[in-house]
Structure 1
């Protein structure tokens, strides 16, 4: 979230429209980012996800990864894999896919229990996750912490240096509102708190009412959102720190802005949303923040992450992803923006909304879309909550095209 005063917000909006658009070489964005090659990889990973859904992830389950390039689902299991896993391998083979079963040293349940114990014990941990192959835990510590303080564990622990911060139209969207649009949070006293991005339109499972999903760190309970023109979007009706999600009382449509950022309002279209899905290590994804525009070539490197973000609190069931081209995957102002995969028919599958970026020196990249100003930074490494956790937290479902 980019913090702005009310006056600064007006000045920044004018500056955004006046600045030149960066070239795609500085971070691929716009409709051309969703190439036939990107869609082909995502179509293969969708098939691999369906194979993974054929078996329960119960006792002994160590983790999963997909390799869409080789059409392979890697399954890690502690002990002998159950019959449903071997049956899924046979189904995959008939479809030209491969399931490889690997031994896991630990189950996901064991590793998650140890991670919870370490967090409760107060170890200086910024983020912690079970490795997808069941081999141990990965921990990240902010600069200045001693690695020895975090490795007191009965399971193998890999300690990495790192630091993350909240990522915190497109520009003037109108009702029914789409994902990927610029939204600005306003406190009850009328003070503009900062600019973020709308996520996905959702539907309340209990009432059937339309809502709009974004990041909880973008606004407090009792606040409300407007577009850049000051037009009312909706008030915060529900907020969950553990999934960095909040629900706005707004009429949404099952579409997401795709294309350039609010820096250039020329090349923007809206694509339909077809559903939602959990995320697996190896998945290829795109995101579409209001400040950065649409970016693809983002691959998942970690799931099941718990990341603690200072006074905001800890976010669970998070995903870590990396831009494989070495460009920016997102930045400040993209918070709450949609993360998704793309089907062959150009329909989108919701995966989550952007929470944080790595601000480790090795991960900082030139920003796509809105340049670095007003404290904005961009990174090749992003973190977002798995959409399944966000939907469960509010008893909603992603709104889909009829």
Structure 2
């Protein structure tokens, strides 16, 4: 049976369970932990109208020139758009139309995102994060540091002592290559996880984390079959492309040996408050499924420009070897939506690069779909 058919068979048999638990029915693991009694899939299902409304606003910001934009958050039953100054008439029309998907409210922000990013460039620390409501910045410092003086950068700065996010560097894939599989850097002797098969025109690539290898180094699968040589990369954003012969519109979502894969529908922007999942190889080996219930908390405002999320039950968000693996949500169709790739972790917290940043960095790459 093909991976897609196996995926559909399991999905049909467990319609109310999380899609992350999809493995052959005779060996299905326990469902992923729930949030407030909801499975991961149910949590995402509740958020779909909110994500659709937020995405309409986010695309308008991406395509236009809106210096007052400060951010977007998903709440329990509505979307909040934070804006400095008066909302332009063109954006008011976008907000009104998006409210047809889910309620969208606009709240005043003290600072725009552009102003906060300019201020963040003057700060240093483990990470510099944007307050989701545009009220200021957060500087992350080591837990051993009791107090840290920060320069006056013109916006409020909160210092938080916390563990630093550390890099987190399916055993036998084949062409066309999928996401969520073991990839081995034969020049370094290290292993990571493939993120998504992507395309730019007729060219095929594997998207993964830049810290998994340098330009010109070779990747194979877990059994030594050649995938490709590392090509375009963005060191600061921790994303890179591996040109390869062909890619497939699936990601692995089972154990490293059962070949269960989910089809990819496309990609989407990521929002504070959104629930996501990650399917790194090491986590799948330990859990028999991906890690779910990752709630997005912050966008970084430093050169790495990462996104931070937290596993809501306090479980490890990622493990060594998960680096580069797929971060995703589940669409109404049951297929997955590409949201990013794993970079760092610290306990229940995870830092990842959102797909939209990779889309910009590499000239409009799109996931291979099924």
Q: TM-score, normalised by structure 2?
A: 0.82
Following the alignment from structure 1 to structure 2, what is the Cα–Cα distance between the partners of residues 114 and 94?
36
Q: Conserved in 1, the CA contact under 8 Å of 2:165 and 2:349?
A: no
Following the alignment from structure 1 to structure 2, what is the Cα–Cα distance between the partners of residues 81 and 164?
36
Name the structure 2 match of 1:363: none
Deviations 1:319-340 (A, max 9, x none): 0001112222211110000001
2:263 maps to 1:272: yes
Following the alignment from structure 1 to structure 2, what is the Cα–Cα distance between the partners of residues 353 and 45?
22
Name the structure 2 match of 1:300: 296
SS in 2 for 1:279: coil
2:329 maps to 1:334: no
Name the structure 1 match of 2:242: 248
Following the alignment from structure 1 to structure 2, what is the Cα–Cα distance between the partners of residues 220 and 214?
12
Following the alignment from structure 2 to structure 1, what is the Cα–Cα distance between the partners of residues 43 and 30?
16
Query: What's the CA shift for 1:194?
Result: 1.3
2:140 maps to 1:140: yes
Following the alignment from structure 1 to structure 2, what is the Cα–Cα distance between the partners of residues 53 and 62?
11
Matches within 5 A, 1:83-232: 83-95=89-101, 97-118=102-123, 123=124, 125-145=125-145, 147-162=147-162, 163-168=164-169, 170-187=170-187, 192-205=188-201, 208-232=202-226
Deviations 1:256-313 (A, max 9, x none): 00123x3xx34x521111211221111111111011121221110012443xxxxxxx
Change in CA separation of 1:74 and 1:395 when aligned onto 2, cut-off 3 Å: same
Name the structure 2 match of 1:397: 365
Name the structure 2 match of 1:258: 253
Matches within 5 A, 1:8-19: none
Q: TM-score, normalised by structure 1?
A: 0.76
Deviations 1:113-147 (A, max 9, x none): 011122xxxx4x11112212010001101244463
Following the alignment from structure 1 to structure 2, what is the Cα–Cα distance between the partners of residues 59 and 354?
30
Following the alignment from structure 2 to structure 1, what is the Cα–Cα distance between the partners of residues 50 and 327?
16
Following the alignment from structure 1 to structure 2, what is the Cα–Cα distance between the partners of residues 197 and 45?
30
SS in 1 for 2:211: helix
Name the structure 2 match of 1:64: 72
Query: What's the CA shift for 1:87?
Result: 2.9
Following the alignment from structure 1 to structure 2, what is the Cα–Cα distance between the partners of residues 154 and 238?
36
Change in CA separation of 1:397 and 1:34 when aligned onto 2, cut-off 3 Å: farther
Aligned length: 331
Q: Which runs of 5+ in 2 are unaligned?
A: 1-26, 285-289
Name the structure 2 match of 1:43: 48
Name the structure 1 match of 2:332: 344
Match of 1:76 among 82, 103, 107: 82
Q: Conserved in 2, the CA contact under 8 Å of 1:130 and 1:304?
A: yes
Larger strand proportion of the pair: 1
What RMSD, in angstroms, separates the aligned Cα atoms of the two structures? 2.5
Q: Conserved in 2, the CA contact under 8 Å of 1:286 and 1:341?
A: yes
SS in 2 for 1:390: helix
SS in 2 for 1:100: strand
Q: Conserved in 2, the CA contact under 8 Å of 1:167 and 1:331?
A: yes
Following the alignment from structure 2 to structure 1, what is the Cα–Cα distance between the partners of residues 260 and 54?
28
Following the alignment from structure 1 to structure 2, what is the Cα–Cα distance between the partners of residues 133 and 401?
34
2:341 maps to 1:353: yes
Q: Conserved in 2, the CA contact under 8 Å of 1:45 and 1:283?
A: no
Match of 2:352 among 343, 364, 384: 384
Q: Conserved in 2, the CA contact under 8 Å of 1:202 and 1:396?
A: no
SS in 2 for 1:59: coil
